[in-house]
Amino acid sequence: MDEQVIFHYFSEFGDFFVGVLLLFLCRWLLRWFFLIVRKHKTPLYQSMLTAVLNWCTYFAILLFTFVYWDFLVSENWSKETLFSLGDVNVSIVLIIVLIMLVSLANRLSKVMTRLLFPKVYDYYDFDKGIRFTLNRVFHYTLMVIAVFVSLHTAGVNLSALSIFAGVIGVGIGFGLQNLSSNFIAGIILLMERPIQVGDRVEVDGVTGDIEDIQIRAAVVRTLTNEHMIIPNSYFLEKRVTNLSHGDTRLRVDLPVNVSYAADVKQARRIMLDVVQKEIDHHVYVLSDPAPAVQFREFGDLYLNLVLQVWVSDPVYMSSIKSRLNEQIHEQFHKHRVPRTTESVDTIEWK
């Protein structure tokens, strides 16, 4: 008798694993079919297809497990009440269904924002900031709808949520002020877009690019590839310089010191020639507005000049400064423009 029972359970386990293998086989066949049907298989399409099929496979195996062992172990054990919330009896199956709905909404949001929306954005030529804002708004809206649908499916009276919202409001008033202010600030940043993804900003003297605007904080990548996590409310309450807002053109000022014995007109001509070469070879160095050299002041030991150059995007600012400084130094050395002065009194004026 014992051997028959053991054989029976081994047989049941064997049938279960055969069912799981069939689900994996269906996943492989579906992936093969969609890859064959689509002519242009981009890496993004393949990764999203794999993610969706994985989601379907995992939840299919989960549901198959509960249904199968319902018949094998006991009568509908997965539907037995674990606990009650008011008039709602919560079971394992109900929890799984709720998780599936929310997870499906999250997966659908990723598929839409990564595969379908970019084609619309390209057609209307939306910039990076608008794309990010629309993706976020769509994701949040879809997740809220999924939560309400899940609660309705579970039989929760949505009108009773007003009491829960009141409790949450009291909690926010006492202990979650900082979190709520950052959340609201994040929504304002997405709507008004004083900063947006891709902008170059200066925060407390540190220059970096906005990489992401999340619910609570924004991520800024500095020029040294460090990541700063800045609360959203900071951008509304503190002074932040946005170098890319509205017009991405930016004027770069390069201070250049020459000796009192130097010919200022010659130095100005050399610097403008250097800039002209940059304009001829690099499209992000602009000829309009025209570059200029300003005689700023008489220093203690130097004549202080400033080279003003306009660039099309602040992203190129550091590299342009470096190249201009290098070429100016080279041309000054070639044309023997004096740069140092020990003392003004030692100069022999002619």
Burial of 205 (0-12, 13-18, 19+ CB in 10 A): exposed
User: Are 75 and 94 in the same domain?
Assistant: yes
User: Are 310 and 277 in the same domain?
Assistant: yes
User: Are 106 and 185 in the same domain?
Assistant: no
User: Are 140 and 172 in the same domain?
Assistant: yes
CATH no. for residue 219?
2.30.30.60
Residue 125 domain boundaries: 2-177
Of 221, 242, 263, the one marking the end of a domain is 242
User: Are 169 and 24 in the same domain?
Assistant: yes
In terms of pTM, does the model score above 0.85?
no
Tens digit of pLDDT per residue, the chain (350 long)?
455 555 555 566 677 778 788 888 888 888 888 777 776 667 767 777 777 788 788 878 877 777 776 665 555 665 666 666 666 677 777 777 788 888 888 888 888 888 788 888 887 777 777 788 788 888 888 888 888 887 777 666 666 556 556 666 666 555 567 777 887 888 888 777 888 888 889 888 888 989 888 878 889 998 888 899 999 889 888 888 888 777 778 888 999 999 888 899 999 999 999 999 988 888 888 888 899 999 988 888 889 999 999 998 888 888 889 999 999 999 998 988 887 755 444 445 44
User: Are 135 and 97 in the same domain?
Assistant: yes
247 vs 24: CA distance, rounded Å:
53
User: Are 99 and 88 in the same domain?
Assistant: yes
User: Are 18 and 101 in the same domain?
Assistant: yes
Of 210, 242, 274, the one marking the end of a domain is 242
User: Are 168 and 185 in the same domain?
Assistant: no
Number of domains in the chain: 3
95 vs 102: CA distance, rounded Å:
11
User: Are 194 and 135 in the same domain?
Assistant: no
User: Are 168 and 184 in the same domain?
Assistant: no
User: Are 283 and 341 in the same domain?
Assistant: yes
Burial of 4 (0-12, 13-18, 19+ CB in 10 A): exposed
Of 196, 221, 242, the one marking the end of a domain is 242
